[in-house]
Copies of this chain bind each other. A is one copy, B any other.
Amino acid sequence: MAEQDDPVLKEFRDSIDNIDAALIFLLAERFKVTQKVGCYKKDQQMAPSDKGREAEQINRLRQLAVEAKLDPEFSEKFLNFIIREVIKHHEQIQAE
């Protein structure tokens, strides 16, 4: 049987697709807030990145990951991946 016709795999994949849609809409909301942060920081002449804040976020997410039974290393990699994108946006805003 081809993988796309396997009913067990299809049920799993339907759940993954639902979760992915939720992740995309949440990420869109997150970037709406960080765009506002970027504009505010430009307005207030604050630096685009804040290492102290990032360290706090990483610690907090690692703790939440343990609670959620998610690999804390992965949660840190995930946050760094998102923050890299946010800093890029902030730098673009500052350059405007």
Name A28's contact: one of B12, B50, B57, B68 (CB within 8 Å). Answer: B68
Bitwise, A20-36 to B at CB < 8 A (1) or not (0) is 11111111111111101
Question: What is the interface of chain A mostly: helix, strand, loop, or mixed?
Answer: helix
Q: In which size bucket is the chain A interface? A: 35 or more
Give the complex CA separation of A37 and B16 in angstroms.
10
- Within the complex, the shortest CB–CB distance from A34 to chain B, in Å, comes to 7
Residues of B within 8 A of A71 (CB): 31
**Which residue on chain B has the smallest CB distance to residue A64?**
B24
> Can you show 16 pairs from A to B with CB atoms below 8 A apart?
A3-B50, A9-B40, A9-B41, A12-B33, A12-B36, A12-B40, A13-B37, A20-B61, A20-B64, A24-B61, A24-B65, A24-B70, A24-B78, A27-B75, A27-B78, A74-B85
